[in-house]
């Protein structure tokens, strides 16, 4: 019985149907197959190739005799002085009784080295080995720990306009601390996140001086040096899109500066306009700015303020008989959000924000609230994730001692999961990617208290549009009695999205199939969920995928409904 299927083995060799081949290439394929089996514990495998005439082309057959497979009988660790063997065994993926795998052996050796590197031993060396026969083997790990080291100095090289103080502050690496490779990699990510550098590398150099202050006996010191290559600190971006129906063009522009006052402060100003072409004469526009101060008062707390203003003149809404359901309306809003956040560790951030909002032309138009937020994010790529988890929660309280016109509390949660299916062979996945399943679930509730008897529409939830329920009109889902200017709102929301994303065709174009479900109601006992489905195209760009989606309303679609098109930057979620 063969251990590996034909599909797996065929993905390893260069010979392919209807493709030219040579004697040297076939010999190399034999060596590849033998090496593959050796790495999986088949040390007496025999691989032969045979070329026979076919109807149109020669037929290449690889005949494989696997032989017995080696199991791991024991694990031996030597050279460890400061760390106990039991603790090191817990780092290994190799286990006695399991089949031998060279990949697992290499991974275990790397895990031991990483453990030492993150524990203060920058010069550790780990040698792996295997001894035994065709059926049983002992795997060995020989460790040379080196000396425990602390950081004596942190230096920067290559910066021209960005101050060294800004770089050292963002790195968070300080003299006197114990060496940790994980901390240095985190510093590298933080420096890239400033968007001030196109390249950041770090070097660990043995210190020939007196050592780090407070290092203690039995320790050595190292110097950490960051080499940086600066990039432009300012940028302008232009964007465009379209919605249908109604037929609306969307244009946007933004300007960003990432080193205000030469202190790493960020200023982002953006604007958007969306005139309708049919019916003509209606539009929406928005202008906002964001100013961010990292490491407020020399701490890890980030400060951010975000003023904004928006204006929209909505088109009248007609029923199938041409009777006006909702007349044209003007919606004006101005506000500012100011708050602080802190990264507990690289994947978890908490924040506290004050939100002051004024909606004009309403009886109770002022909302003043505090919002406590939490975010956990371990996605491998924030623009085009292939695996990982993102969780966002928010607890908001408005009114009461904060005053304003509205007393309310709001709870929201958003969970997103991404997973590669592993269908594409690893060699091809590096070029075109893999099939990815993306799932999103969101829920929220808002309730009045105190002076307020109801939640105003602009503080309630809504669904519909390219980022929530594709196939439905923008903000079109909600209880019948809450329609405002053609939009619907409600105090409770549930929304789920599912996408299957394909690998990239020609390395830059991917396809997406999706299903959206959700509803907005008075409580979580929804009257009936809405459904939408469709397909889309993703075009790979350096700043994330550009998407074109077509969605169709599945539940009670209106007459002559042909679906809706959406164009935008990045995935819907």
In terms of Cα–Cα distance, which of 492, 402, 400 is closest to 451? 400
Decide whether 6-65 matches 148-230 in CATH topology: yes
**Per-residue pLDDT at 343:** 87
Backbone torsions φ then ψ of 107, nearest 5 degrees: -65, -40
**Per-residue pLDDT at 524:** 85
148-230 has CATH 1.10.3720.10 classification: no
Instruction: Evaluate the CA torsion angle 194, 199, 205, 207 in order and state its sign.
Output: negative
| 198 touches 233 (CB < 8 A) | no
CATH number of the 384-391+407-573 domain: 2.40.160.50
Q: What are the residue ranges of helices labelled H in 394-488?
A: 426-432
**Per-residue pLDDT at 277:** 85
What is the 3-state secondary structure of 398-422?
ECHHHCECCCEEEEEEEEEEEEECC
Q: How far apart are CA 10 and CA 170, in angstroms?
A: 48
**Per-residue pLDDT at 326:** 66
SS3 393: strand
SS3 285: strand
Query: What is the CB neighbour count within 10 angstroms for residue 64?
Result: 18
Query: What is the CB neighbour count within 10 angstroms for residue 542?
Result: 5
**Per-residue pLDDT at 322:** 66
Beta-ladder partners of 180: none
Burial label for 73, CB within 10 Å (0-12, 13-18, 19+), is middle
- Paired tokens of 32: 């590849």
**Per-residue pLDDT at 8:** 84
| 188 touches 156 (CB < 8 A) | no
CATH number of the 6-65 domain: 3.10.20.310
In terms of Cα–Cα distance, which of 411, 491, 413 is closest to 457? 491
Q: How far apart are CA 237 and CA 259, in angstroms?
A: 17
Block mean pLDDT (10 aa), the chain, length 573: 81 86 91 91 91 87 92 95 94 92 92 96 96 89 96 96 94 95 94 94 85 56 96 89 76 94 94 88 93 85 96 76 70 95 90 96 88 96 92 97 96 97 78 92 97 92 94 88 78 97 90 97 85 96 88 92 89 93
**Per-residue pLDDT at 477:** 92
**435: which residues sit within 8 A by CB, 6+ positions away?**
420, 421, 423, 424, 500, 501, 502, 503
- Paired tokens of 73: 């009988």
**286: which residues sit within 8 A by CB, 6+ positions away?**
271, 272, 308, 309, 310, 311
Burial 520-538 (b: 16+ CB within 10 A, else e): bbeeeebeeebbbbbebeb
Domain 71-144 maps to which CATH number in 3.40.50.2300, 3.10.20.310, 3.40.630.10, 3.30.1370.110?
Answer: 3.10.20.310
**Per-residue pLDDT at 213:** 53
Q: How far apart are CA 342 and CA 333, in angstroms?
A: 29
The domain ranges of the chain are 6-65, 71-144, 148-230, 233-346, 384-391+407-573
Backbone torsions φ then ψ of 227, nearest 5 degrees: -105, 125
């Amino acid at each position: 019985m063969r251990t590996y299927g034909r599909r797996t083995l065929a993905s390893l060799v260069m010979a392919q149907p209807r493709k030219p081949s040579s004697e040297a290439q076939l010999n190399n394929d034999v060596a590849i197959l033998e090496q593959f089996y050796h790495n999986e514990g088949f040390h007496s495998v025999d691989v032969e190739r045979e070329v026979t005439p076919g109807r149109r082309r020669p037929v290449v057959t690889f005949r494989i005799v696997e032989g017995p497979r080696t199991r791991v009988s024991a694990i031996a660790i030597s050279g460890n002085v400061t760390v106990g063997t039991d603790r090191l065994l817990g780092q290994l993926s190799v286990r006695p009784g399991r089949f031998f795998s060279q990949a697992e052996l290499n991974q275990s050796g790397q895990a031991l080295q990483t453990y030492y590197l993150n524990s203060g031993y920058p010069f550790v060396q780990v040698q792996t080995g295997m001894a035994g026969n065709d059926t049983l083997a002992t795997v060995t790990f020989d460790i040379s720990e080196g000396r425990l080291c602390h950081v004596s100095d942190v230096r920067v090289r290559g910066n021209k306009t960005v101050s060294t103080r800004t770089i050292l502050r963002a790195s968070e690496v300080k003299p006197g601390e114990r060496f940790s490779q994980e901390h240095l990699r985190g510093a590298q990510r933080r420096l890239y996140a400033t968007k001030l550098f196109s390249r950041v590398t770090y070097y660990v150099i043995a210190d020939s001086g007196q050592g780090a202050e407070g290092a203690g006996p039995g320790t050595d010191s190292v110097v950490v040096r960051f080499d940086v290559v600066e990039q432009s600190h300012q940028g302008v971006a232009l964007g465009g899109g379209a919605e249908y129906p109604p037929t609306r063009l969307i244009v946007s522009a933004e300007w960003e500066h990432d080193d205000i006052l030469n202190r790493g402060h960020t200023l982002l100003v953006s604007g958007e306009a969306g005139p309708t072409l049919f019916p003509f004469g209606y539009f929406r526009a928005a202008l906002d700015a964001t100013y961010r101060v990292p490491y407020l008062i020399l701490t890890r707390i980030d400060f951010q303020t975000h003023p904004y203003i928006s204006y929209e003149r909505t088109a009248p809404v007609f029923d199938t008989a041409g009777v006006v359901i909702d007349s044209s309306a003007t919606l004006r809003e101005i506000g500012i959000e100011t708050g602080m956040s802190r990264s507990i560790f690289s994947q978890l951030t908490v924040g506290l924000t004050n939100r002051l909002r004024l909606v004009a032309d309403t009886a109770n138009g002022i909302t003043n609230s505090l919002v406590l937020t939490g975010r956990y994010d371990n996605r491998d790529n924030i623009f085009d994730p292939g695996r990982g988890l993102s969780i966002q929660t928010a607890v908001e309280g408005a009114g009461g001692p904060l005053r304003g016109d509205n007393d309310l509390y709001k709870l929201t949660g958003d969970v997103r999961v991404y997973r590669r299916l592993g269908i594409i062979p690893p060699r091809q996945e590096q070029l075109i990617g893999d099939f990815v399943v993306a799932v999103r679930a969101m829920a929220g509730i808002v309730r009045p208290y105190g002076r307020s008897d109801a939640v105003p529409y602009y503080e309630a939830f809504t669904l519909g549009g390219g980022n929530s329920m594709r196939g439905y009109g923008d903000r079109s889902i909600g209880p019948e009695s809450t329609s405002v200017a053609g939009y619907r709102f409600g105090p409770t929301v549930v929304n789920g999205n599912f996408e299957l994303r394909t690998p990239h065709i020609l390395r830059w174009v991917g396809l997406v199939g999706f299903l959206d479900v959700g509803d907005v109601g008075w409580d979580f006992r929804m009257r009936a969920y809405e459904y939408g489905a469709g397909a889309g195209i993703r075009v790979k760009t350096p700043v994330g995928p550009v998407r074109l989606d077509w969605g169709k309303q599945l539940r009670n679609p209106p007459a002559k409904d042909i679906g809706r098109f959406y164009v935008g930057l990045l995935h819907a979620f």
